[in-house]
Amino acid sequence: MLTDGYHDVPDGKVAMVVTQLEMKSQAARRDVALPQGVTFRKATPDLAWYRDVYARVGSPWMWFGRRRLDDAALMEILNDPEVAVFTLSRDGQDEALLELDFRQPGACELAHFGLTPKLIGSGAGRYLMNQAIGQAWAAPITRFHLNTCTFDSPQALDFYIRSGFTPYHRKIELADDPRLTGLLPEDAAPHVPLIR
Q: Is the pTM of this model over 0.85?
A: yes
pLDDT tens by residue, 106-120: 999 999 999 999 999
- How far, CA to CA in Å, does 92 sit from each of 38, 117, 145, 148? 9, 16, 31, 29
Domain 21-181 fold: Aminopeptidase (3.40.630)
pLDDT tens string 119-140: 999 999 999 999 999 999 999 9
- 42 CB neighbour count, 10 Å cutoff: 11
What pLDDT, on a 0 to 100 scale, did the predictor assign at position 29? 85
Quick one: pLDDT at residue 13? Answer: 96
pLDDT score recorded for residue 31 = 84
pLDDT of residue 1: 75
- Regarding beta strands 107-115 and 143-149, do their DSSP bridges make them parallel or antiparallel, or are they unpaired? parallel
pLDDT < 50 stretches in the chain: none
Residue 30: predicted pLDDT: 82
Residues comprising the chain, all counted: 196
Task: Give the pLDDT of residue 6.
Answer: 93
DSSP per-residue codes, the chain: -PPSS-----TTEEEEEEEEEEESSPPP----PPPTTEEEEEE---HHHHHHHHHHHHGGGT--TGGGS-HHHHHHHHT-TTEEEEEEEETTEE-EEEEEE--STTEEEEEEEEE-TTTTTTTHHHHHHHHHHHHHHTSS-SEEEEEEETTS-TTHHHHHHHTT-EEEEEEEEEEE-HHHHTSS-TTSSTTS----
Residue 15 pairs with which residues in a beta bridge? 174
